[in-house]
């Protein structure tokens, strides 16, 4: 093999090519090194705290001098102008859109009021305004609505907080979901601070705060976007994951401990109300299996000049397809949007079928009771209704579940439909035994008002009680919070 020196002596042009190539390579590497050093310095200067932040600082505006870009984007969660097929940030009266829900939740607070959730900026206002809360509500209802929960739990402990009344902490819970909910103010590391998630993983031998950063970009969301229940007289918020996180696992857990959220007003079934098992459904989907976190899609990275940061405008990826989806997928925005809608439409078809069957099952069960059916005759029917509606609600209450895991959502709804049909078959035999004419007449529930009237709700009184509450107690809470220095009202004006 010839030496390079021999080649160069024979063909000088080769030497010049090698020389120029070396110069170009050194130049490009120098530029790359300079760029990396510059970006590191810029990142360090940008993320260096200019002002110290108190360990339990719940006012997000107190973080903005250190993190102005993140704060400005967080404020955008106040927007309410985007609606997609199955989500968005527009407040929608879901009972008006689908009055069958009123019958499904007869005897439970959701039959009074259920709106599509708005952005994080509105969490405190929305829990105050909903007809589902009252002075009799438990303090546990605040748990995922404000960073002030973290401060109060640090002060008095989780047990004392959970066991209190909702109104006891009205003047303390004044700041909407913000910086402290996800970040340690000293290190800015992502931090899980709600006890329920920490305890649920501890029972599995996992320290959730020692998980890798990419996993914590999901875990800080899983603090709240999960299924949970209020355990015991102390209303201790608990994740029912001890047997697993599949819908059947959680159902088995609830059946074993005898948990009942409410007894249905019409069918008398011992019901379960799914909260929002977003994490549990999400982890069954392809994005979770590929290591994609919640933040990757709902809070994608954003650039301003040379600064790269997480976009704190938490929103539907469909409102930001270019940054959320097209980072990985090369299809057009319209193609990607239709891909999502197609999956959601298929799941919605099953969900509505399940709703129709459940409404009929409840009403037919009510007719059976009126005809004189016994507890023994109705026991299996009521258990089937409980399990069917639990499965329906597990999907219906999961934000984005029909896209996160459409196959799992369809599987769950299929089993819901099957159990409703089984319940109705048993009911048919019971009704026949008591000479009840079939089919049982169905009421007119074509509007929210008609459905609420059918289940016996006095909506005028309920609305008036809430009006008095908002005009008397809430202003008092605001004054007390301002006197304590807990609230900068400017941070909540948008």
Residue range 429-482, pLDDT digits in tens: 999 999 999 999 999 999 999 999 999 999 999 999 999 999 999 999 999 999
Burial 256-278 (b: 16+ CB within 10 A, else e): eeeeebbebbbbbbbbbbbbbbb
Residue range 283-311, pLDDT digits in tens: 999 999 999 999 999 999 999 887 899 99
What residues does 88 pair with on adjacent strands? 83
15 pLDDT exceeds 70?
no
State the pLDDT at residue 7. Answer: 61
Cβ neighbour number for residue 78 with a 10 Å cutoff? 17
Average pLDDT over the chain reads 93
Residue range 108-120, pLDDT digits in tens: 999 999 999 899 9
Q: Average pLDDT of 134-157?
A: 97
State the pLDDT at residue 5. Answer: 67
Question: What is the value of pTM for the model shown?
Answer: 0.90
> In CATH, what number does 60-343+457-492 get?
1.10.1130.10
Q: Which two tokens stand for residue 463?
A: 């609305």
45 pLDDT exceeds 70?
no
Q: Residue 63 in contact with residue 179, Cβ under 8 Å? A: yes
C-alpha separations of 405 from 282, 285, 338 in Å: 6, 4, 16
34 pLDDT exceeds 90?
no
Q: Average pLDDT of 418-436?
A: 98
Per-domain residue ranges of the chain: 4-47, 60-343+457-492
State the pLDDT at residue 230. Answer: 97
Q: Average pLDDT of 11-33?
A: 73
């Amino acid at each position: 093999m010839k030496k390079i020196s021999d080649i160069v002596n024979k063909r000088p042009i080769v030497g010049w090519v090698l020389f120029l190539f070396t110069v170009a390579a050194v130049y490009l590497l120098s530029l790359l090194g300079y760029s990396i050093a510059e970006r590191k310095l810029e990142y360090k200067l940008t993320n260096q705290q200019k002002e110290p932040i108190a360990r339990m600082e719940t006012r997000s505006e107190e973080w903005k001098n250190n993190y102005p870009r993140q704060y400005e984007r967080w404020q955008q969660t106040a927007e309410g102008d985007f609606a997609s097929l199955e989500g968005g940030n527009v407040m929608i009266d879901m009972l008006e859109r689908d009055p069958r829900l009123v019958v499904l939740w007869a005897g439970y607070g959701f039959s009074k009021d259920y709106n599509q959730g708005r952005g994080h900026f509105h969490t405190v206002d929305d829990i105050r305004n909903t007809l589902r809360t009252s002075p009799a509500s438990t303090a546990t209802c605040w748990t995922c609505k404000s960073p002030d929960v973290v401060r109060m739990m640090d002060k008095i402990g989780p047990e004392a907080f959970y066991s209190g009344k909702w109104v006891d902490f009205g003047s303390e819970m004044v700041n909407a979901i913000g910086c402290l909910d996800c970040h340690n103010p000293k290190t800015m590391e992502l931090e899980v601070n709600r006890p329920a998630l920490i305890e649920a993983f501890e029972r599995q031998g996992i320290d959730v705060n020692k998980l890798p950063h990419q996993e914590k970009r999901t875990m800080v969301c899983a603090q709240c976007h999960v299924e949970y229940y209020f355990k015991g007289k102390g209303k201790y918020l608990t994740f029912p994951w001890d047997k697993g996180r599949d819908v059947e696992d959680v159902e088995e857990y609830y059946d074993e401990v005898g948990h009942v959220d409410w007894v249905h007003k019409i069918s008398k079934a011992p019901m379960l109300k799914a909260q929002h098992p977003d994490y549990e459904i999400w982890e069954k989907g392809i994005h979770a299996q590929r290591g994609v976190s919640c933040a990757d899609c709902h809070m994608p990275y954003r650039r301003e000049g040379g600064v790269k940061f997480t976009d704190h405008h938490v929103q539907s990826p469909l409102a930001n397809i270019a940054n959320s989806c097209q980072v990985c997928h090369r299809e057009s925005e319209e193609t990607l949007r239709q891909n999502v809608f197609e999956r959601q439409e298929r799941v919605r078809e099953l969900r509505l079928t399940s709703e129709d069957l459940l409404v009929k099952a409840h009403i037919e069960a009510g007719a059976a009771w009126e005809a004189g059916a016994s507890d023994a005759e109705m026991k299996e029917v009521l258990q089937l209704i409980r399990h069917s509606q639990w499965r329906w609600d597990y999907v219906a209450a999961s934000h984005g579940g029909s896209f996160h895991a459409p196959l799992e959502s369809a599987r769950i709804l299929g089993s819901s439909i099957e159990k409703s049909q089984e319940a109705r078959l048993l009911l048919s035999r019971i009704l026949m035994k008591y000479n009840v004419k079939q089919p049982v007449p169905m009421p007119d529930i074509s509007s929210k008002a008609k459905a609420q009237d059918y289940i016996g709700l006095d909506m005028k009184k309920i609305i008036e009680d809430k009006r008095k509450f908002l005009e008397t107690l809430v202003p008092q809470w605001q004054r007390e919070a301002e006197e304590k220095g807990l609230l900068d009202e400017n941070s909540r004006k948008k």
